[in-house]
Structure 1
């Protein structure tokens, strides 16, 4: 497994692979890898000749009061997991390698970020769109795999890729959960034992709504109210949003008459967790 720390080094290797006719699959991550990330690597490996994993805690997608400095990191362990998974190369630059002196070029979308996480994290998706655009230009992948837990991020990246004509196939990987239902996330490491129990309210709320929809309930206001009760019944919880929306546009809906995305963002203690399901 090769390790590249500079954009020029990674890009040169990618160009070499391209000349050899190799299909490159990219899995962008911020590190502190878990089984969810590893499942994305498996998807990439099934559709490409070789897999590149980027490990980069991207500063431009963090707001001033967010957890950039505290974000969990363990590069040595991450590299070992990538090696075990048969990854061809890991791209792990420093922020100064990605955003050089006098950096001033950013990518933003007009509509999709104005929903869900974008409302409480106003700079987040500009940072995501910018770093993904840069990764596509550096790694030159034929396909890239992103987790469906970050549903809005995946929607933004699909739109970005289409709008800017990147020759990259975007693939989504299903949410991977712990045995008790908690969606896997690097930020789960922040949770205390008591908060870890409370965090199950997200998956419990999704299961509850799935059951109600199966029974015939279609009124979003009623589903939101019952969801709020489930979440706030657990200690240390604070709701950022409970949203029911169109999976394509992320516009809010009042009733379930077709495919609808239910998305949650909840603070458990100081840790912000997200989860979702399409009904």
Structure 2
């Protein structure tokens, strides 16, 4: 496993693999690695011969500077977590390496970025699309893998690949959860044990909505109130949407591919999750 910080070096090394027709898969991360990331890495090894894990906290996708500053960072610990995973490269560039000067261009995500996280985090997905585009151009992977906890992000990246004709196959992997059902997230590190127990109610609530929404038209409002009563600071959204285009679903049809989406705040920490209905 080789840790590389410079764009030119990673491009030179990966060019050799490309010339040898060895398939390359990218696992993009912002570090603060947990078992969810490591599960993606294990899955990546099944897909391609050369595995590249990127570690880069992308300032461009944070609409709140305080949130960016508080995001957990520990590159040494991340490298230690990956050393026995059998990957080939860690690409861990500095901010200056990726954004060598002020950007002259933006990637403006339309339509599907106007709801859910995109509604409450202005230009967040523009920043995501920008860094993913840069990583695809630097790494030139044949494949890339993303967790489905960030389902809106996954859908936007699939559309980015299609619209910009990137030669990358996108793989989505089911959300990894702890024993209580809480979706693994780097932000969980900011919660204490009691708060983690409160947070584990998110998955229970999602399942109760999945099992009862057809018979209870008021269940979303009822569950929002329950979440607040449990101890969450705020329910940003709790909605059922079409998983292909993220259109809001008010009258569910049995043949629709739909998901329940949630974003909540607990002690100032923003947590998201989703669950397929069909």
Interval containing the TM-score (normalised by the shorter chain): over 0.9
Which residue number corresponds to residue 277 of structure 1?
Answer: 275
Choose 9-18 or 157-166, whichever is displaced more.
9-18
Which residue number corresponds to residue 227 of structure 1?
Answer: 223
How far did residue 124 of structure 1 move? 0.6
Q: Would you say the 8 A contact 1:41–1:85 is kept in 2?
A: yes
Q: Would you say the 8 A contact 2:232–2:264 is kept in 1?
A: no
Which residue number corresponds to residue 118 of structure 1?
Answer: 118
How far did residue 65 of structure 1 move? 4.1
> Are residues 1:34 and 2:34 paired?
yes
For these two proteins, the number of residue pairs brought into alignment is 275
Counterparts of residues 23-172 of structure 1 (less than 5 Å): 23-172=23-172
Cα distance in structure 2, aligned partners of 1:131 and 1:15: 20
Structure 2 residue corresponding to 1:267, chosen from 261, 265, 268: 265
Which residue number corresponds to residue 185 of structure 2?
Answer: 185
How far did residue 192 of structure 1 move? 2.5
Choose 127-136 or 96-105, whichever is displaced more.
96-105
Cα distance in structure 2, aligned partners of 1:29 and 1:93: 12
Cα distance in structure 1, aligned partners of 2:233 and 2:199: 8
Q: Would you say the 8 A contact 1:24–1:52 is kept in 2?
A: yes
Q: Would you say the 8 A contact 1:201–1:230 is kept in 2?
A: no
How far did residue 254 of structure 1 move? 0.2
Cα distance in structure 2, aligned partners of 1:3 and 1:100: 20
Cα distance in structure 2, aligned partners of 1:26 and 1:66: 29
SS in structure 2 at match of 1:112: coil
TM-score, scaled relative to structure 2: 0.95
TM-score, scaled relative to structure 1: 0.95
Cα distance in structure 1, aligned partners of 2:47 and 2:193: 39
Gaps of 5+ in 1: none
Counterparts of residues 196-235 of structure 1 (less than 5 Å): 196-213=196-213, 216-217=214-215, 221-235=217-231
Gaps of 5+ in 2: none
SS in structure 2 at match of 1:80: helix
Cα distance in structure 1, aligned partners of 2:101 and 2:197: 45
Q: Spell out, residue by residue over 1:106-135, the C-alpha distance to the aligned partner (whole angstroms, 9 max, x if none).
A: 212211110100011012100000000000
Choose 237-246 or 23-32, whichever is displaced more.
237-246
Which residue number corresponds to residue 250 of structure 1?
Answer: 246
Q: Spell out, residue by residue over 1:129-157, the C-alpha distance to the aligned partner (whole angstroms, 9 max, x if none).
A: 00000000111100000000000000010
How far did residue 66 of structure 1 move? 4.2
How far did residue 49 of structure 1 move? 0.6
Q: Would you say the 8 A contact 1:146–1:154 is kept in 2?
A: yes
Aligned Cα root-mean-square deviation (Å) = 1.3
